[in-house]
Amino acid sequence: MRFQSVKGTRDFYPDQMRLRNWITDAWRRVSVRNGFEEYDAPIFEYLDLLTIKSGQEIAEQLFSFSDRGGRHLAIRPEITPSLARMVNARIHSLPRPIKWFSVPRLCRAENPQRGRLREFFQWNIDILGSDDVLADAECIFVAADFLREIGLTPGDVCVRIGSRPLTVAVLTAAGVPPQAADAALAALDKRPRLPEEEFHKLAAEAGLTGEQIARVCEFQDCGDLERLEEAVGGLKGAPAHAAALRDLWGHLAAMGVVDYCCLDMRIVRGLAYYTGIVYEIFDRDQSLRAIAGGGRYDDLLGVLGGPKIGATGFGMGDVVLGILLEEKGKVPQAVRSQPLDFFVIDGQEGAFQQVQRVVGALRARGLTADFSYKRQPIGKQLREANRRGARAAVIVREDRVAVKDMATGDQNDLGLEDFLGRADRVLADLRSPTG
Ligand code: HAM
């Protein structure tokens, strides 16, 4: 009987694993240079923790189960509730602001489609313990810093920024009662992905009248800050939230990432716990699903039994990101194959023990070195060196070696001990593999 992987999951053969590691290494590197510390949490949690404040959509996508003690559990579809739980447990001893990151493996029982799978990795950047819009700006900066790091420019991607409280203020002014706001936001979250008619149907099901739909859509479509400020100027509580957006823009400009950002009031986010500025990152043409999404969630820790402290952050998945990088040809050649510094070859009969010694010495110096298991002619071993992408072949003959640059074919004759004494330098002197 032969098995396949479950739909919506991925096998990571070495090719795919290299790409995954390249992405996750960059996530970690960028997190650390921005002052974030890594944490992790269990892969399953109590069901209630994951449903209490995340909303209907995520509740429907849970892989849930009961353990033998009858506890209701679920595999994590996101890590934000676990983060809130962990921070609440140590709230009095953690110095604030808390700047933490994580790269969890997550599962959602979604219908698999382009960019959405049932198991994926998601980079999380969060700042807890600050109400300042500077924290929101810093999270967006970190996202842009990463995009730049992996070669995605403002021409490739955009952080589309909206505001939940402004949207709620417009809904309220249009006569939508507070208890209907969550359903209205859930419908609005789907607007960019639906044909107009279907969106209208969904919004009507959420309780909005035709007039209310028209009013909120008009607000969502005003594309710049001035028009937005005009549109919400007279609405209760709105000017403060509009001012927060203006402050955010000031910070993003000062931090040099404003080119990556645009205002888009159609962004309201699907998860129910967001309370402030929200954003999603898309490819410029918006032909793919969101690369990342996040925002401020000031009530979540309180709802989970902790104090009310400000919190903001985002999650970025590896799936859409991978598709976009492939489409734009931004995956570096070096990620396509495993780098190998030296392939060591026995250049005459009886030299194999020397080969083993050389390989051992190179590896002990932290260089990557490999050799053929078969004793075969030099030409065949050179072909293997080439197939393995070695920077150089080292042909060993008694107490001498010939170091052959695999890119240029140039060959250098050295004493064996001399080579072992400065193999790093010999490698550095070779032309780079990409030329
Ligand atoms: P989210 O919008 O549900 O937010 O997910 C964020 C990102 O994770 C998405 O933009 C996408 O890249 C990726 N993602 C989500 N679902 C899938 C899927 N089924 N397959 C592949 N990728 C997926 C959250 O999860 C929030 N907890 C993020 C957050 C952190 N907010 C504040 N802090």
Model confidence pLDDT, tens digit, residues 255-274 = 999 999 999 999 999 899 99
CB 62 within 8 A of CB 51: yes
Residue with CA closest to ligand 1 atom 10: 292
The minimum-distance atom of ligand 1 relative to the CA of 124 is 30
pLDDT confidence of residue 412: 95
Residue with tokens 């010999």: 426
Nearest to 57 by CA among 145, 188, 150, 164: 188
Residue 115 in tokens: 């960019």
Instruction: Return the beta strands (E) in 284-386 as ranges.
Output: 292-296, 311-317, 340-346, 369-371
* Parts of the chain with a pLDDT under 50: 434-435
Q: Name residues contacting ligand 1 (CB within 6 A).
A: 78, 80, 108, 110, 116-117, 120, 122, 124, 126, 271, 290-294, 313-317, 319-320
Q: Left if phi > 0, otherwise alpha if psi is -120 to 50, otherwise beta: which for 73? A: beta
Residue 409 in tokens: 């074919």
Length of the chain: 435
pLDDT confidence of residue 222: 87
205: amino acid identity, one letter: E
Enter the pTM of the model.
0.95
Cα of 290 vs centre of ligand 1, distance in Å, is 8
Residue 46 in tokens: 């109590």
Residue with CA closest to ligand 1 atom 17: 116
Residue 367, CA distances (Å) to 19, 264, 308 in order: 22, 49, 51
For residues 424 and 430, give the distance between their C-alpha atoms in angstroms, rounded to a whole number: 10
Residue with CA closest to ligand 1 atom 12: 317
For residues 90 and 375, give the distance between their C-alpha atoms in angstroms, rounded to a whole number: 61
pLDDT confidence of residue 435: 42
Residue with CA closest to ligand 1 atom 8: 317
- One DSSP character per residue, 173-223 reads HTT--GGGHHHHHHHHHHGGGS-HHHHHHHHHHTT--HHHHHHHHHHHT--
pLDDT confidence of residue 432: 59
Residue 347 in tokens: 């250049």
